Structure 1
Amino acid sequence: MPVHTSNSSQGSPGRGLGLGLALGSALAFGGSGVAAKPLIEAGLDPLHVVWLRVAGAALVMLPVAVRHRALLRRRPALLAGFGLFAVAGVQACYFAAVSRIPVGVALLVEYLAPALVLGWVRFVQRRPVTRAAAVGVVLAVGGLACVVEVWAGLGFDTLGLLLALGAACCQVGYFVLSDQGSDSGADAPDPLGVIAYGLLVGAAVLTLVARPWGMDRAVLGESASMDGTAVPAVLLLAWIVLIATVVAYVTGVVAVRRLSPQVAGVVACLEAVVATVLAWILLGEHLSAPQLIGGAFVLVGAYIAQSSTPAKAAPEPVAAGGAERDVATRGTAV
């Protein structure tokens, strides 16, 4: 079923604030992998790091969930989907990926999400897309080939690349679900409430999957190494929970509401740049010149793909004689 983004925020006085929030979200998200990888290398399982991140953030957001408890009755499917895909799915796949491949490579693979959105629109829904959007997809896929160095027979761990691709699939759900209901006026679900319950649902799902009772808690009382520099593990965990999760999700979802998933997604491409630079400086993960060029193509392709509106198709009547819908409204139709 198509999900249409809201037009109401386009050109509004809050657009500048929305861009600022989207940029802040990209910066906050970009630091998550850099902080998580030392914890994983210190002995924590990637799923345990994800569980600590999501469960800690859910605890911080618990008062917000209590305040918006009516959402459980009004939007149960939205909360379940957000928790499963936008929280548990993205984070579990991404952290598992960075445990096997460089942080920058994992994020660049994740930014195939715009191409996946357009692929769904074109081949599953059988709706036309613009020529510019198709060019963006080609650039992103070609850039990804350089990032993973296909000429060397995939120089990276294949499972790690597949996990990063799984994060890309879940990221599509994040942008779409963040905008769900934004055109419902006063009945639109509060984004903070959606985040709070999404984190609670994600924590519940991850508890079953990660089984945190088997976690090596002693690691949290020690130091982790960031390219030879000892950093308290609990400090890294605090950064992951408070900044890279609570702040990142809150600013990201509010930005999507003000800008639309397309525009917010374009700004979010800076997350890959931030993560790559931080991984280079703090973890010593250097990318080769072809990989950097390929990464630039991925981001440019993602920008073009997300900023290109799907081509208009002939309107189709809604069942039961309702009004006709234009499937190419401003924003993403998935």
Structure 2
Amino acid sequence: MNGPSFCHERRPSLRVGRRCSLASGAKSVVSLALMLAVSSALAQPGEDERPPDIEVGSRRIGGPGTATEQAEVARAYAEEDEEVLTEETLPPKGNKKRLPGLHQIAKRYVGGADWITACDRYDQLIDEGGDEALDLVDDGKKNAAKAYQHCAEAEIIKANDEKAERLIKKSEKYGGTSPRLDALRRRMARERYRREMMQGNVDRAFDNYKKYQAQNKDEDERIWMGTELTKLAVDANKAKDKVRTEQMIKMAEEVSPQNPELRALIKKLDAEKNVFKNALTFSVAMLAVVGVFGGLAKLRSRSKIKVSKFEE
């Protein structure tokens, strides 16, 4: 609690009045100092706020400080326009933006693994701008080679070997040789002779199989081919086709001579041949015996005739 205020008395003495005046003046000075301190604190810029200066420019609408922001907005709109570019919005031929636009569309199909459409777009690029059109962007040739490789795989599945080989050559042209492309060619050769076996073109399949093995030995395929040839030999034997049976056995022995089913078939045929030989030998022997007995019978009959004539 503050003591009684002499300054509020109606008629203070001269001495008291002088003290009141000094107190009021001190309060005014303190109040002014506090106001200046608060104003100074409010006027200091915060960490997230930068005061406008000559380099930044005015913050008013349309002032020089908004130039950078406007450029960023314009660039964002340009990028958005590129993202939505389609075949329908592609500039016409002759426009300098057409080939880069085709690159953009083709790359989008590559990213979406739509390989067939991507190959069509790269074919279009090359038709309109030549091989050098692929150099317009850094990854142009790389993406084209990747697309052609996947398109070749699709053609191999569809048994379109000629088109697959053309696509493999395109991929090599723009991306260089690679183990994966070599593997595609091996796969194509394997699928070719397997397909020919299923179609009954055994001689052609056998020739292509030998070419395949000449490039690089494949034990799994050797076993597969031996099994298929043995099946054909067994079927031919059941059909009593001796010529085809012998032909299939000969091929199977060349590929997989130790195939269990093949060995069993050969053993069976050998046993049948032995039975036939034994039967033939027995028949010949029986004929010989019959012939001997027949000859003896004739001799006896002749002897009887001579004796009867002599007695007469």
TM-score scaled by length of structure 2:
0.19
Q: Which protein is richer in helix relative to its size?
A: 2
Relative contact order, CA 8 A, sep 6+: which one is greater?
1
Which one has the largest radius of gyration? 2
TM-score (ref. length: structure 1): 0.18
